[in-house]
Structure formats: structure tokens, C-alpha cells
């Protein structure tokens, strides 16, 4: 029986009830989905500010089931992490994102970043560094265009990523970003110790900017922290002009969110890469 408590298995419990006689475990379903190439990537633009140029994309995985449903990552990544399938799935994501980035660059797009989310299990898995190295070689990709997004929890929490791995990734020439910054651990000491390039201000702070007060103070403080530590700062989840103006006024140089663009399939990217959002 699957856990009901955390809500992470709702998709699977429904599927399993619907198809009780097949008794496919979450593990087997995900394994089959990977074999049958049912995972797809959507890409969301990263925009530099104040100029408004698209400088890169974040790869976001989805599961397109045979009945045509598009399942969001929140509904299967937790199970993939728990079953270990995140390792081959994560490798597929990395390879596909790198392949697509290479294609965009070869097509003349002026882009500097392809951001890819990485789970704690992937980072801890022996061979992750080698896998990345061989993917970069396979597509003859400059390592500095690949930005690994690692959540604060993965950097700091229980079973945190080994520091040596982060340094090995950095030594390969990759860039490292702290995802969902501000939601995890209050100790900031790790920012000095880890080879981090960028902080991504969590969407929750950005979406509360209009209510004033705490969210504004926190966002401004993160931007200031980034400036003093010489880290780049990107604001996630920008949905409107108010948020954009606040962030720009406070010195934030990069943003991402529905205001600029939803995550879209690869085919839409060459047109997006040419767009410039003017302020």
C-alpha cells in the first residue's frame, strides 16, 4: 500500500486503484515510462534584467502517459526519488537538455545557460560526475552553459550532498545554483563553503511581494546577500509587472516566471530565444 499522508502518491494510488489487477508498482510504472520514452521536457525562459533578454532555459520534466495526460513532476519525482529511478530519469533529463541546448546553439541562438534540476540521490550516486562529463563530451558542450539547480534542502538537509561532489562538479566547469533559496535552512554558513554561483529566490517570496512587508524585505535581503557574496540572484515565479519592477529596483538581474513565459516544448524555443522583453 502506498502512503497517503504526504499527498505525493495521489497519482499512483488512483492509477493503481483503476488498474488494481495489473498491480504495477510506482517503481515499475516509472521504469516502463522511461523505457517507453514517455517523459518529455518543457523549457522555461530565464530572462536578464533590466534589458529583458532571454539568456537561457530551465528544463522541467513531465510524464506524457499513453492516454495523453501530461503529469506534472510534483506527482512523480518524489516516487522516483524514493525508488531510485531518479538516477536513470535524471540522467535522461541531463542528456536531453544538453542535446537540445547543443542544437539551439548550433542553430545560432545566443544563449548562456541551460539549467537542470538535480536531486540529492543523483548527487550522491557514484558515477554522477563521470556521467556528466561524458554527456558534455558527447555533445561537445561548454560545461559553463550547464547550470545544476540544487535545492537548499539537498545542500544542507539530512543526507546532504557530499561537498567533494560539488567541488568535483565545479572543477568540471559546471555552474551551481541554489534552488528555492530562502525556504530551507537558516544557516547561511554553507554559502561560504560551497562553490555556488547563483541563488534562486523562491517563488513564495516573489508571489507575496504585492502584500508588502516581510516578502519585500526578504527578497531585498536576498538580493543584497547575493551582491555582497558575489553570487548571481534570479527571482523565480515572476508573474506581473509589479513584481518585476520591485525586483529590478532592488538590483535583481535575472528573472523567470509566467510574466515572461510558461514552460514550453523544445520546438518553441528558437522563436523564444530571439525575443527581448522591453521594460
The contact set with ligand C2E (CB under 6 A) reads 44, 60-61, 72-74, 77, 90, 93, 117, 119, 149, 179-180, 203, 237-239, 257-258, 263
Q: How far apart are CA 104 and CA 99, in angstroms?
A: 9
Q: Which of 57, 153, 60, 38 is nearest to 109 (CA)?
A: 57
Q: Using CA atoms of 130, 132, 138, 144 in order, give the dihedral in degrees to the nearest 10.
A: -130
Selection from Ca ion, ligand C2E, none that 242 binds (CB < 5 to 8 A by kind) is none
- 83, 117, 119, 154: residue in contact with Ca ion (rule CB under 5 A): 117
Compose the 166-195 pattern: x for residues touching Ca ion by CB under 5 A, - for all others. -------------xx---------------
Residue count of the chain, please give it: 279
- Local structure of 232: helix, strand or coil: strand
Least distance in angstroms from the C-beta of 20 to ligand C2E: 28
Residue 105 vs 234, nearer CB to Ca ion: 234
Choose between 33 and 59: whose C-beta lies nearer to Ca ion.
Answer: 59
Residues 149-168 that bind Ca ion (CB under 5 A): 149
How many CB atoms sit inside 10 A of residue 74's CB?
10
Beta strands in the chain (DSSP E): 39-48, 53-64, 70-71, 113-117, 146-151, 175-181, 198-201, 232-235, 254-255
Task: Rule CB under 5 A: say whether 254 interacts with Ca ion.
Answer: no
x/- track of binding to Ca ion for residues 205-244 (CB under 5 A)? -------------------------------x--------
Amino acid at each position: 500500500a502506498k502512503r497517503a499522508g504526504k499527498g505525493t502518491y495521489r497519482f499512483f494510488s488512483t492509477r493503481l486503484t483503476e488498474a488494481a489487477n495489473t498491480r504495477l508498482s510506482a517503481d515499475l510504472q516509472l521504469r516502463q515510462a522511461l523505457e517507453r520514452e514517455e517523459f518529455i521536457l518543457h523549457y522555461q525562459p530565464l530572462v536578464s534584467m533590466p534589458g529583458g533578454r532571454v539568456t537561457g532555459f530551465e528544463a522541467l520534466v513531465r510524464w506524457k502517459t499513453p492516454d495523453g495526460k501530461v503529469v506534472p513532476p510534483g506527482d512523480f519525482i518524489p516516487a522516483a526519488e524514493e525508488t531510485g529511478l531518479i538516477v536513470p530519469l535524471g540522467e535522461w533529463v541531463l542528456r536531453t537538455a544538453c542535446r537540445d541546448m547543443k542544437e539551439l546553439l548550433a542553430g545560432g541562438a545566443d544563449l548562456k545557460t541551460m539549467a537542470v534540476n538535480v536531486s540529492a540521490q543523483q548527487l550522491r550516486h557514484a558515477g554522477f560526475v563521470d556521467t556528466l562529463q561524458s554527456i558534455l563530451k558527447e555533445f561537445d558542450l561548454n560545461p559553463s552553459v550547464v547550470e545544476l539547480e540544487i535545492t537548499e534542502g539537498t545542500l544542507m538537509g539530512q543526507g546532504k550532498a557530499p561537498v567533494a561532489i560539488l567541488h568535483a562538479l565545479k572543477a568540471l566547469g559546471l555552474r551551481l545554483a541554489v534552488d528555492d533559496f530562502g525556504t530551507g535552512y537558516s544557516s547561511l554558513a554553507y554559502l561560504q563553503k560551497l562553490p555556488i554561483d547563483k541563488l534562486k529566490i523562491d517563488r513564495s517570496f516573489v508571489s507575496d511581494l504585492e502584500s508588502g512587508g516581510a516578502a519585500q524585505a526578504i527578497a531585498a535581503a536576498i538580493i543584497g546577500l547575493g551582491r555582497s557574496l558575489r553570487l548571481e540572484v534570479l527571482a523565480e515565479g515572476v508573474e506581473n509587472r509589479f513584481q518585476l519592477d520591485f525586483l529590478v529596483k532592488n538590483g535583481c538581474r535575472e528573472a523567470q516566471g509566467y510574466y515572461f513565459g510558461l514552460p514550453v516544448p523544445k520546438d518553441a524555443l528558437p522563436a523564444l530565444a530571439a525575443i527581448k522583453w522591453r521594460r
